[in-house]
Structure 1
Amino acid sequence: MAEPLFQQLQQLQEEFRGYPPVGDWHPELCGDMDLVIRKDGSWVHEGTPIQRKPLVKLFASILRREGDDYFLVTPVEKWRIRVEDVPFLATQVARGTDQGEEKLLFTTSTGDIVPLDSDRAWELRPFGRPSQPVPYIEVRDGLFARVSRDVYYELVGWAASGEQGSADPNALYIESAGQRVLLGRY
């Protein structure tokens, strides 16, 4: 059952790859919008959580990062918003094979399907209190998703440890699309 789901996710990822060309749009800054993307992945406008998923997906499609700042950008407007951590949360992961290689596909809180491959940055960053290293995956153009706790534990179950005699025998790694990335240390 997992393999058909993986194939469906791959097909969706290929079909809906396109996003508006926000990197090509350079309007003047209009100001700051009272919109915050919280650490838990919720989008809050003027103190009220946005409940309509299509609206969140629309906003996510026109999101751009410049340095440490995030903006909603159209051809004629640019509004700065606040992001507490990163704009997306990886809420699901599927494992399957693609052309004989194991591949992981992450699904974000906004419905993006992101393969862990050589085109994606994978980082461990400190998160929470007390601070722990947590994996983050690049969704697109410098926009990252934090891997949720549930997904992290699923990855730990699939992980391989460092070999005896390696530089870090206490490291856990996952493999996807021919890449071996660090998941954490124990």
Structure 2
Amino acid sequence: MPYEPPPELAGLSLSEIAALAQERRLPPLDQWTPAHSGESHMTIQADGAWLHEGSPITRPAMVRAFATLLMRDAQGQHWLVTPHERLAIAVDDAALVAVDMEVRHDPASGQAVLAFRLNTDDIVLCGPEHPLRVAGTADVPAFYVAVRHGIEARLNRSTYGQLIAHALAISPPEDLAVESRGARFALVPAA
């Protein structure tokens, strides 16, 4: 069956976005305890490109499949996990990249919801379970959204621009922040 990418976020309602996020079936990595550990010889570059032994992985379906097997441990090491083995994978910055963002409002609660599309076509609804994190400096900030199993997606330049434009529309520049699903996220890096 051919892969059908999800529709663009801009044309979807909040309930449609939430349904897309929920229907993605993911393997139960947290239930697996593989006996063998090794090296994958894979790298995820800061721009989201995946390499195996220095050569690009050019099939998007492979990248999407590998991304469902990713986790990051408490020491910050990224792993590709199967029921039988876990293989270390080098990650230059974040494992995934947020490539689009839309703001919706939940009619039931009135709360804003920030929806991010990732380079793997995953949809992440920012909030307490998927918080935003700001790093870097005030001059060169970097924004990340938690995805699953300890992995994060870094917001690319255009998505960062969408986030800042939204923040400036709802908060003063000296207290730049956004809210999503009842959680508030300051957008200025700690000094």
Give the TM-score, by structure 1 length.
Answer: 0.85
Partner residue, 1:178: 182
86-95 vs 153-162, which moves further: 153-162
Deviations 1:22-55 (A, max 9, x none): 1221223442121000000111111111111111
Residue 101 in structure 1 maps to residue 111 in structure 2: yes
Aligned: 1:111 with 2:121: yes
Give the Cα–Cα distance (whole angstroms) in 2 for the partners of residues 74 and 4 of structure 1. Answer: 34
Q: Distance in 1 between matches of 2:101 and 2:140?
A: 21
Please tell me whether residue 19 in structure 1 is matched to residue 19 in structure 2: no
Name the SS of the counterpart of 2:129 in structure 1: coil
Give the corresponding residue for 2:155.
Answer: 147
Amino acid at match of 1:158: H
From the two aligned structures, give the one with the greater strand fraction: 1
Structure 2 Cα separation of the partners of residues 28 and 132 of structure 1: 42
Residue 76 of structure 2, aligned match among 49, 56, 68: 68
Identity %: 34
SS at match of 1:170: helix
Q: Secondary structure at the match of 2:48?
A: coil
Which of 142, 147, 168 is residue 134 of structure 1 equivalent to? 142
- Relative distance call for 1:40 and 1:2 in structure 2 (3 A) is closer
Q: CA RMSD in A?
A: 2.2
Secondary structure of the 1:184 match is coil
Q: Deviations over 1:55-79 (max 9, x none)?
A: 1011011112112211111111211
Contact 1:91–1:109 under 8 Å retained in 2:
yes
Residue 6 (structure 2) aligns with: none
Amino acid at match of 1:31: G
2-side partners of 1:177 and 1:91: how far apart? 20
- Correspondent of 2:93 among 71, 85, 90: 85
> Residues 176 and 27 of structure 1: is their aligned pair in 2 closer, same or farther, counting only changes over 3 Å?
same
Q: What is the aligned partner in structure 2 of residue 166 from structure 1? A: none
TM-score, structure 2 as length reference: 0.83
Unmatched runs of 5 consecutive residues or more in structure 2: 1-8
CA drift of 1:2 comes to: 4.0
Structure-2 separation of matches of 1:82 and 1:54:
20
The answer (yes or no) to whether the contact 1:3–1:96 under 8 Å persists in 2 is: no
Cα distance in 1 for partners of 2:163, 2:76 equals 29
Within 2, Cα distance between the matches of 1:21 and 1:174? Answer: 31
- The aligned length equals 176
Q: 1:44 corresponds to which residue?
A: 51
Aligned 8 A contact 1:2 1:96 in 2 = no
Structure 1 residues not aligned, in runs of 5+: 163-168
Q: CA deviation at 1:19?
A: 1.3
